[in-house]
Amino acid sequence: MATNTADKSVNDQKLKGMPPASKITESLPGRSRGSLLFKRSQNGTINAYFRYRLNAKDTMISLGQYRLSARASGLILSEIRDKAAEMALIASEHGDVKTYLAARTAEEKTKRQAVALAEKATTQQGSFEELLNAYTEDLTARKKVKAEEVERLFQTHVIKHHPDLMVRSAKSNTGEDIHLVMSALLARKPKGRGIGKAKAASTDMRSTAASVHRYLKAAFNYAGKAHLSLDRDVSNSKIFDICVNPATRVPTLANTCGGQTESLTPEEFGELLRHLDTLPLRETAICKGLIYLGGQRMEQMLRVTWEETHNGLWIQPVDATDWLRFSAGVS
């Protein structure tokens, strides 16, 4: 038969001496603060509860198992009393302890999930350097001729000279940051070239700066939607979260259209075409092809073999759904 003993001062000796199926209670300090209840089961374990009155009924909240020895699991008496005091405070302020604890547990879970999501987002957030590298890697994967040039320009004129900006998240970059990069580039002098470092041409860095600026705009445009690509697995890709392209805030450099050019008059151009007609057939086709393309896509043209021409047409795939055709003048 279970026994119930009320004691204002429970101690370890009394708890360890409890017979099976017995109870001991200890009133908490203060008026109507509830009590601490210990129950010993038939197998010898002692469980502690906070007991209080709610809506005229006794209600119990489990506090845990009392630790009977140093090697056993559970809580020591002082820890149980601390938990009971916490429950008593909750009861006095909120009434229903179980409802309050359930709401607090749910809130803590929501906070943990929010922290985990924030940490994951921080881990996936790409830096400025990672943005530049991602763009050049994309160009390389798509076999773009300019991939090596873009990578060289970024490494030489951006990444190398601005290590502090490179480690910052890409989305934190502003127009002022891009202006800093461009201003520093324009202030540098061209390097010597070739064997023996021949003296550089007496030009400034405006043409190079214009190229870097153009590729920075393209890189930020790419980064704004790279993580949404449907053509590849982006589950582990860096997220750059670019909402506003900072490079577009910096005005484009004026008068940087390219190198020295020379225009032909209609008469001169006609003479050139007549001269080309006197060349062997294939040489004529090559020269006229360059003219028809306006001097563009020359590297792509050089990679084309004669076997890729058919019935006087050069067929060059641009992508999976588009084809570029023009007359090569080859029969």
If you average pLDDT over residues 242-261, what whole number do you get? Answer: 81
pLDDT at 19: 93
| pLDDT tens by residue, 97-124 | 999 999 999 999 999 999 888 877 777 7
Q: Is the pLDDT of residue 200 over 90?
A: no
The highest-level CATH class for domain 126-190+203-256 is mainly alpha
Annotated domain spans of the chain: 12-98, 126-190+203-256, 266-307
Residue 205 scores a pLDDT above 80: yes
**How confident is the model over 154-182, as pLDDT tens digits?**
999 999 999 999 999 999 999 999 999 99
Query: Is a pLDDT exceeding 90 seen at residue 257?
Result: no
Whether 34 has a pLDDT exceeding 70, the answer reads yes
Q: Which of 192-201, 240-249, 280-289, 305-314 holds the top average pLDDT?
A: 240-249
pLDDT confidence of residue 293: 77
CATH 3.30.160.390 is held by the domain 12-98: yes
Please give, one letter per residue, the 3-state secondary structure of the chain.
CCEEEECCCCCHHHHHCCCCCEEEEEECCCCCCCEEEEEECCCCCEEEEEEEEECCEEEEEEEEEECCCCCCCCECHHHHHHHHHHHHHHHHHHCCHHHHHHHHHHHHHHHHHHHHHHHHHHHHECEHHHHHHHHHHHHHHCCCCCHHHHHHHHHHHHHCCCHHHHCCEHHHCCHHHHHHHHHHHHHCCCCCECCCCECCCCCCCHHHHHHHHHHHHHHHHHHCCHHHCCCCCCCCCCECCCCCCHHHHCCCCCCCCCCCCCCCCHHHHHHHHHHHCCCCHHHHHHHHHHHHCCCCCHHHHHCCCHHHEECCEEEEECCCCCEEEEECCCC
What confidence tens digit (pLDDT) does each residue in 262-321 have? 678 888 888 999 999 999 988 888 888 778 877 666 666 666 777 777 665 666 554 433
Instruction: Please tell me if the domain spanning 12-98 has the same topology as the one spanning 126-190+203-256.
Output: no
